Chains A and B, each alone.
Chain A
Amino acid sequence: MMASSYNAKDEDGHHPGSVGSGGPGAVKSKKPDNTAFKQQRLPAWQPILTAGTVLPAFFMIGLIFIPIGIGLLVTSNNIKEFEIDYTGVDMFSPCFNCSQSYSWNSTSACTCSVPFTLDQPFESNVFMYYGLSNFYQNHRRYVKSRDDSQLNGDKSSLLNPSKECEPYRTSDKKSIAPCGAIANSLFNDTLELFYIHPNGSRIAIHLVKTGIAWWTDKHVKFRNPGENNNNLSIVFQDTSKPVNWRKPVYELDPSDPDNNGFINEDFIVWMRTAALPTFRKLYRIIQKKKDNMTPTLPPGNYSLEVIYNYPVRSFDGRKRMILSTISWMGGKNPFLGIAYITVGSVCFFLGVVLLIIHHKYGNRNNNADIPN
């Protein structure tokens, strides 16, 4: 608590000797009203930061922050996270061939399979991310290269996208839907997970592909044009697919009309540009088993099957697959916990220092001779 004092001064302010002397009427008209505000005498709280007053605050911060920090750190440490790089830079890595023999025009998909082992069981929902490094999704030219009204289902923007989409605005004299560099560079690797049972059988793990995008994005911000027309191929017939795409936007997920076209969640997730050049994006969710007894991903051997489409080697990029459990505070990140503990301890330490100073100098100052 800060020490404080309320200082309410008399607001009526009597004016001595104003009555009686010549022409009080004329005097009064020019005289300012004597309100507390105009006299700068509003009642006010006048706190002062002194060692004595901030001491308790410092100790309080220390006492609150350290436990929070410990809590955060423990939570973060309990989160299980597994990360595997499948770029295939290394000669011996399984995806080396795919990464070498890349071309946009190749019709045959290059697949590779990356084996990995989980030492610990992953419980509850497990979230599967893909991660890219050295990929500047936050480059200005890139960030602005989109047309939000086209993505919102605006018909005129569909056929006449924003200039910002250049040079990904038109191809073959048709407007591109979705236009822009972001959409054009949609991440198009397909990742599948298989559990290698100790007996050798490969069990495909069910990956849920919805719920990975913000609800508001999926339901409000991104809309397919022609709201009532279920046949997206007709809606998009005058448009052209982005040049790097293999299939048009209305074939992103033919199986599920609620996840197709602009409201395809993989697409929406990609369209939310990352803040930093190394980023991860939510790819799939592995839901926990119905019975809570067995972990979602038991320890053991797994295989990551990749349909390798996305080239990153040209710009020294890396591709990763991350499996992570989630707590209330999100994924594994010890930063917050450590920061809280550090700040808490610093405050506590400063509190002690101030206490000493307060004892040594506080009295001296208060007793110091102040001329009145």
Chain B
Amino acid sequence: MDLSSIRKLITRYCTGEESWVDSRTVYIGQKEPPPGTEAYIPQRFPDNRIVSSKYTFWNFIPKNLFEQFRRIANFYFLIIFLVQLIIDTPTSPTTSGLPLFFVITVTAIKQGYEDWIRHKADNAINQCPVHIIQHGKVVRKQSQKLRVGDIVQVKENETFPCDLILLSTSREDGTCFVTTASLDGESSHKTYYAVQDTKAFNTAEEVDTLHATIECEQPQPDLYKFVGRINIYLDRDEPIVRPLGSENLLLRGATLKNTEYIHAVAIYTGMETKMALNYQSKSQKRSAVEKSMNAYLIVYLCILISKALINTVLKYAWQANPNRDEPWYNQKTETERQRHVLIRAFTDFLAFMVLFNYIIPVSMYVTVEMQKFLGSYFILWDDDMFDEELGEGPLVNTSDLNEELGQVEYVFTDKTGTLTENNMELRECCVDGHVYVPHAICNGQILPGATGMDMIDSSPGVDGKEREELFFRALCLCHTVQVKEEETVDGIKRGIHQGKSTSFYISSSPDEVALVEGMKRLGFTYLRLKDSHMEILNREDEMERFELLEVLNFDSVRRRMSVIVRSSSGDYYLFCKGADSSVFPRVVSGKVEQVRARVEHNAVEGLRTLCVAYKKLTHEEYEETCHLLNRAKLALQDRDKKLAEAYDVIEKDFILLGATAVEDRLQDKAADTIESLHKAGMKVWVLTGDKMETAAATCYASKLFHRNTQILELTTKRTEEQSLHDVLFDLSRTVLRQHGSMTRDTFSGLSGDYQDYGLIIDGATLSAVLKPTQEVTSNGGNYKEIFLEICRNCSAVLCCRMAPLQKAQIVKMIKASKERPITLAIGDGANDVSMILEAHVGIGIMGKEGRQAARNSDYAITKFKHLKKMLLVHGHYYYIRIAELVQYFFYKNVCFIFPQFLYQFFCGFSQQPLYDTAYLTLYNISFTSLPILLYSLMEQHINMDILKRDPTLYRDIAKNSLLRWPTFIYWTFLGVFDAVVFFFGAFFLFDNTTFTSNGQMFGNWTFGTLVFTVLVFTVTLKLALDTHYWTWINHFVIWGSLLFYVIFSLLWGGIIWPFLNYQRMYYVFMQMLSSGPAWLSIILLIIVSLLPDVVKKVLCRALWPTTTERIQTKRQCLTAEQSTIFMLSQTSSSVSF
């Protein structure tokens, strides 16, 4: 049989027909089209039930268990538990079963609770009523029963129940307003358009008579893309075909505004809606700490296995003498004797594994998770990062990366909206070289005399005046700004007249709002779009009406937009505005040189410039254009590409009118933040789509480049003159020479005045650099490596003219470079999403360009300046906290298990546990768990104010410095040393003598309890020594858990526990405490175990102090002085009272 055909059959059977058809046909109102048009293929679509929950009541337990045991650690403990159940092991299965059960239960409860919440939310959504038109009547139905093809009626302020194609609205022009606040955070009203030919079907009865089918693509997650076609069967045979685009598609989750009701047809339902498709989780990011943790785990697993192997081998060597293997007092059972030696050896090996398995603690995972989860609340709660204007604080979308914030080496930042406010203001416009500056404004209020303007140049002539007015009209018409309506038309008018209308313009692009507002100040007021007519109020307060014929929307590739309008006099105009680079090549006349000079001048000042051009169209030209556009719009496939081609044909032969300059102010403290990041050893790269001059100006303003920074340019301008190859080599030579002398300088202590470099590269050159070349250069490396080498030696890099994907490419390239640095990307717009997702840590700014970046980020903040606290304070804290947590966990388990290993040498390798079952079980769960958890939540080795003030401290923890192998080995050896001290301390104390005053002897359980007591105290006190920040909580938890250990031991040994089949701990603890030498030796052993660590700390601090330690020491001296002064003032004040 042909295998592939079987596979095809199977996939077809499993996935259903429609999923491999790349478009779907929807029959509006579930009605079949007139016969003969097309074969009627009923397609099955899912119902409108949203299922965000993972489990149902029935599958919760098996599915949740399966999910949990997929984690390698849980699986490991399950195996250990099963081994304990199956073979005769030294410790009872409860010792590993109970913690595992605890962990699994806690996780299951947490997940169950979350899922229950999701179920509730799902039910609320699925059962909320929707209105469906059936047989000309409005029927209420539950949302989940909605089917594809149903006609839905939605009223104002209701949320759309699924993805709908707008058929008709209560408004005459067939538009409706929608906010997508819950989808992308943009609260502005967006206009959606009903299909032209159905907008007349206004009432329920009328809609019901509609015969149409919709063909559209299969659901895909891109919110802003939709391609479809509607076939309307009116009385004629031939259906009317109309294109459908995203302007017709109402998305589930959006809300209807300012429109009484609409009728629309469902096309994507349930889990196929764009909203649901966007819920799909992002790929998991793993932090560097987690990676080192896993590496340590592997080391410990090896230690565990080798320990078990060594003991097994030694056991059989030792047992070679039968009198040792089976002395007369300790016979084996018959079954044991008959077992094959290999099986015995294997079970022994497993038993040793079980005995030592606590070295990899189940509770570490729980503690790390809890630390991350709870710790992230401190970010949420942080008052300093709360933004009063937005009324929002930071968001934590994942808590897995908290500590990664302390490890950042490269910061990639967007410019607009991130470094700058994205609060645009028209600074000036230039018409044919004449510069106009609108009046100064304050807080959006126009000062009196709003219609005036300053003319810097001499006033233009009559011809100039005409051009000038055309320019202003062009700016008033060429945009997609909406006017938010008041109750009445008069309201708007009044509002505009009183100059309060500033807040009424809404647009997705702040530049446009700035332009339209600027125009208002220059005398031309855009009123509204009514019946496809744009109304503007000119300087003489006369209404001018232009019919809006076509809008050629802005896109980031073309970098321009155009409108085609017809004036009241019947002239056709095409107005275009766009980036200089995309407009100048298409200009045929106009004062190009003057305008270009002005544009460049403004760009250097850090202003955002746009050029405005127009062309007049004849009626025939317009017809042709229309035809071109419609053909492209109707295409089902590659519509975007065809549209782009059409635009390219239409937008040419312009006459240049002038240029505008919009200022985008730097964000509050952006320069200070960048300087701090620099001092903290981070490299800051600015990646922007803006042009080089503007971006460079911003970089200077934000202190990314300094006055003495030598700028290296790697731009198309330069590569045109020289070959890319030569430029790259030139630059690398410059940088490397400098680098060499710099290291010499640092040696001679003259590092202060070395040259630092800033690199500017543009998108085109970057793609040339990144292009994989087969050509091997003379140095043996390719361009990419040379480029990386240059970048490594530059303190700041500016990449301009970047496409969104290129931003991600750069991040990826740096990520993959040989040092594997930790990268952070920060941005606010949809164009930053790709780099936010690519970087190790992605930070979104909740800005004006919607919430897309914030939604896709790991953390979201409101202002760029908050990045400083986020990294320097929170990141630093989380890193040292989790580093200690990880190291300490391994340390305390070495301390715990190594004595047990040593004990095997004295009990004939018989796997006899040193400690009682209860101690084995509870050591990690309760005796030593809380202090480290609280430490890892509360520790502050240095005050946060100092961390903020002195960014260089961040360098102390760079490159994962607290989790490097030497540190890990130090901790492990400390653990081994402590374990040896515990064990041999107790050993010599027990050595063939008694240490009670009544001559009675102690047994092996007392021995173990003594070791365990010293262990618990040492391990807890070790943490106490590491704690630099003792709040009452730390005191409570540290002393509390020691007290808990004592009380538990007293209780555990104080009663004959009826449910236990052994009573070996009965009174063991109390008997031990009744002996003086036991106390003395406990104290001695604790001190001896802690001594080396204290000495090491003190010596390192005194001889080779890190910056952190110096500051700690210095602060201590200062505060000591301060506190005395404070005390003195206190006493004096109390005296005076």
Contact = CB atoms under 8 A, between A and B. Distances in A.
A5 B1117 CA distance: 9
A50 B329 contact: no
A32 B1113 contact: no
B1137 interface: no
Interface stretch (B38-46, B531-539, B1012-1020, B1061-1069): B1061-1069
Nearest to B903: A138
Contacts of A34: 383
Contacts of B1028: 46-48
Given A127-B999, A148-B1063, A282-B999, A50 B1103 contact: no
Contact of B329 (A3, A142, A162, A275): A142
A196 B718 CA distance: 115
Interface string B576-592: 00000000000000000
Contacts of B1061: 147-149, 162, 164
Given A50-B1116, A152-B1063, A275-B1007, A330 B950 contact: no
Nearest to A168: B331
Contacts of B377: 38
B994 A139 contact: no
Given A282-B1001, A347-B1091, A276 B1066 contact: no
Interface stretch (A13-21, A93-101, A231-239): A13-21
A46 B1030 contact: yes
A161 B393 CA distance: 67
Contacts, number: 311
B333 A166 contact: yes
Given A7-B943, A370-B1114, A272 B989 contact: no
Given A42-B1032, A46-B1028, A330-B1075, A311 B1119 contact: no
B1066 A275 contact: no
B378 A336 contact: no
A272 B908 CA distance: 18
* A: interface residue count bin: 35 or more
B992 A39 contact: no
Contact of A138 (B323, B906, B988, B1064): B906
Given A23-B391, A42-B1032, A357-B1103, A331 B999 contact: yes
Contacts of A135: 329
Nearest to B910: A140
Given A47-B1028, A136-B910, 15 more contacts: A5-B1119, A40-B938, A50-B1102, A51-B1098, A139-B907, A139-B908, A148-B1061, A168-B331, A212-B1000, A214-B1000, A221-B1063, A269-B1000, A315-B323, A350-B1095, A354-B1102
Contact of B1004 (A18, A274, A347): A274
Contact of A43 (B329, B908, B1031): B1031
Interface stretch (B20-28, B243-251, B766-774, B1079-1087): B1079-1087
A314 B328 contact: yes
Contact of A31 (B328, B391, B991, B1025): B391
Given A18-B388, A34-B383, A326 B998 contact: yes
- Kindly name the residue among A136, A145, A152, A278 whose own CB sees the greatest number of chain B CB atoms within 10 A: A136
Interface string B1088-1107: 10010011011101110101
B700 interface: no
Interface string A302-337: 000000000100111000000010111111110110
A273 interface: yes
A280 B1001 contact: yes
Contacts of A140: 90, 907, 910-913
Top 4 A-B pairs, shortest CB-CB distance: A185-B329, A330-B995, A275-B1007, A5-B1119
Contacts of B67: none
B907 A30 contact: no
A281 B1030 contact: no
B508 interface: no
Contacts of A50: 1098, 1101-1102, 1113, 1116
A368 B944 CA distance: 22
Contacts of B391: 23, 26-27, 30-31
Most buried by B among A5, A65, A129, A275: A275
A360 B805 CA distance: 58
Nearest to B904: A140
A149 to B, nearest CB: 6
Interface in B974-1032: 985, 987-1004, 1006-1008, 1025, 1028-1032
B1049 to A, nearest CB: 15
Interface residues of B, number: 107
Contacts of B992: 131, 276, 278-280
Nearest to A34: B383
A136 B952 CA distance: 60
A216 B1066 CA distance: 8
B1064 A136 contact: no
B996 A330 contact: yes
7 contacts: A32-B381, A46-B940, A127-B994, A220-B1066, A276-B1004, A330-B997, A354-B1098
A361 B1112 CA distance: 15
B388 A275 contact: no
A330 B330 contact: no
Contacts of A136: 327, 330, 907-908, 910
B324 interface: yes
A40 B911 CA distance: 47
A358 B1099 CA distance: 9
A297 interface: no
Nearest to B1075: A330
Contact of A276 (B332, B990, B998, B1116): B990
B912 A339 contact: no
B949 interface: yes
A276 B991 contact: yes
Interface in B1039-1071: 1056, 1060-1064, 1066-1067, 1071
B1102 A138 contact: no
B869 to A, nearest CB: 11
Contacts of B393: 30-32
A362 interface: yes
A251 interface: no
A271 B232 CA distance: 96
A275 B1003 contact: yes
Contacts of A328: 997, 1076
A348 interface: no
A223 to B, nearest CB: 10
